Structure 1
Amino acid sequence: MFRHAMMALTATVVTVAAAPALSQTAEEKGRAIAVEADKRDTGWVDSRASLRMILGTQSGEQRAVRELDSMAQERTKETDGDKSLIVFRAPKDVQNTALLTYNHVTGNDDQWIYLPALKRVKRIASANRSGPFMGSEFAYEDFTAAEIEKFTYKWLKDEPCGQLTCHVIERVPTYENSGYARQVAWFDTQELRVQRIDYYDRRDKLLKTLTATAWKKYANKFWRSHDMMMVNHQTGKTTRLVWGPVTMNTGLNASLFTPSALARE
């Protein structure tokens, strides 16, 4: 999600994706748009940013603010998916809690969480990844990358989305134990950034909506949203992620992204 979260071809390819599908099925067009969006976000090597996680109540009040660091390492020839690490810095009751994710191109991802109170690293079973992450409206599953082969796709329509026009794409998880029956994502037609995602629960009821705004461009190529709001329609609660500046290709050491390193963060 957060690479991508969202995580952004040639002019000819973009035109083919954006034009009415004369020779493509809705499924082929939906997949083509997702593939092209993924290609645009290739080559950043690694990234680092600080962020705030703001938890909101059903009545709109702020119930907690957390400070975090986020690090990520792009897939290499030796790895089949990106790796990401999230570390809580404040407040004290969650300080040094860390989540490590190994994304895989196909199949289930690997995730570990370090719990300072227990002084142990715990592997998260795939059956538990649909659960809420640290009391937020984000699930563990939401912190994994939307790898192309993990979904089937269907283009639904093009429509206005704010001041932009968006491709509306339905994607259905193909991996085991997803908490979602399906997701509907809005990709803006200009830059193929994911502006919004609707998440439907296993009963196919609308569960949550993620809205991504405050986009900034890095290295003249890579777009990152600096304000992400997740609204849980079934509880009324919210979680907002407000990101600071992103640094890329800084030479993050691969040893940071290992389960054994979590307790040292």
Structure 2
Amino acid sequence: MNHISGYVRFLALGFLAAALLRGPAVWAEAPGLPGANDAAARGLAIAKINDERDKGWGDARADMKMVLTNASGETSQRELDFMMLENPDPNDGNWSLMTFDRPRDIEGTALLTYSHIKDADDQWLYLPTIKRVKRISSSNRAGPFVGSEFAFEDFSTQQLGKFSYNWLRDEPCAELTCHVVERTPRYEDSGYSRELVWIDTTDYQFRKIDYYDRKNALLKTLTFKAYKLYEDKYWRPLELDMVNHGNGKTTALIWTEYKFHTGLTRDDFTTASLERAR
């Protein structure tokens, strides 16, 4: 995914080994990019570089906090375990499993995601209060995930083939320079008509995504913060901030650390594993 979405490849992104934010960067375009006269080819080429920079990590897990802030500034916090498995099949997407550890009223709730490219993603939600695994239908993936500003589809890895692309411009983004690419979901039942994606020209990582609803109004903005590089290869943002422009609410996902090559297998990502996860 490019998830979090599972998203999240909207959740598989990367960083510098020093674990410090970089200083001002000198802009240098990747060699071989199509010119501005072919916006579709240029946009796809940028997305491909972003995709190629996040391959080969195998499996990973991390501890995560979810901080919800309402329009009045009041916050609540949840703690989760997040696991990911890279799919070696280039024609399919990655797998992810999120399990809530705290607070008690949501403990054991878990979301399993199989991301796909050509077909609809598979998602299952385990609800411990009723001891039931519920399959999330395609038509419901645009709905909010357990009261957060993230939708179910945001936790599906953002595979390259899920979108069509169009380069819009290059512009400064904080201390970096970013390509701004419009991507349009190709999959049915997406809650978004299009997304504007800021990808930096230094490491080709996501820096920001604007999500537009089905009426083409700006709905949400996701900001990627505090990048860190693992194993000299894999960039990961340690914080994701999703702002809902309609209701004024924010949800932050904060990771404490990633661990790669932990021995996770497909057996850890089954519907039966949802109940074992608690």
Separation in 1, partners of 2:161, 2:270? 25
Deviation at 1:106, TM superposition (A): 1.6
Residue 45 of structure 2: aligned partner: 32
Extract unaligned runs of 5+ from structure 2.
15-27
Match of 1:92 in 2: 104
Q: How many residues align?
A: 258
Secondary structure, in 3 states, of the residue corresponding to 2:32? helix
Q: What is the TM-score of this pair, normalised by structure 2?
A: 0.89
- The aligned residue for residue 21 of structure 1 is 35
Residue in 2 aligned with 1:264? 276
Matched, 1:110 2:115: no
Normalising by structure 1, report the TM-score. 0.94
1:41 match: 54
For residues 182 and 139 of structure 1, the distance between their equivalents in structure 2, rounded to whole angstroms, comes to: 15
Q: What is the aligned counterpart of 1:5 among 11, 14, 20?
A: 11
Identity of aligned residues (%): 50
Pair 6,166 (structure 1): closer, same or farther in 2 beyond 3 Å: farther
Measure how far apart 1:204 and its partner are: 0.3
Shift of 1:61: 2.2
Q: Which has the higher contact order (CA 8 A, sep 6+)?
A: 2
The Cα of 1:46 is off from its aligned counterpart by 0.3
When residues 164 and 214 of structure 1 are mapped into structure 2, their CA distance, relative to the original with a 3 A threshold, is: same
Looking at structure 2, the residues matched to 259 and 57 of structure 1 have their Cα atoms a distance apart, in angstroms, of 32
Deviates more, 1:150-159 or 1:78-87: 78-87
* Alpha-carbon distance in 1 for matches of 2:243, 2:187: 24
Displacement after TM superposition at 1:182 (Å): 0.3
Tell me if 1:147 matches 2:162: no
Is the CA contact (8 Å cut-off) linking 2:183 and 2:194 kept in structure 1?
Answer: yes
Counterpart mapping for 1:46-125 below 5 A: 46-62=59-75, 64-77=76-89, 80-125=92-137
Amino acid at match of 1:51: M
Cα separation, 2, equivalents of 1:33 and 1:91: 40
Query: Residue type of the partner of 1:66?
Result: R
Answer whether contact 2:79 2:103 (CA < 8 A) is retained: yes
Secondary structure of 2:30 counterpart = helix
Deviation of the 1:36 alpha carbon: 1.1
What is the distance in 1 between the residues matched to 2:116 and 2:123? 11
Consecutive unaligned residues of structure 1, counting only runs of 5 or more, are none
**Paired position in structure 2 for 1:233:** 245
**1:67-105: CA deviation from partner (whole Å, max 9, x where unpaired):** 000000001249822100000000000001000000112
Write out per-residue CA displacement over residues 107-135 of structure 1, whole angstroms, 9 at most, x where no aligned residue. 21100000001101010000000000000
Out of 247-256 and 122-131, give the one that drifted further.
247-256
Moved over 6 A (4+): none
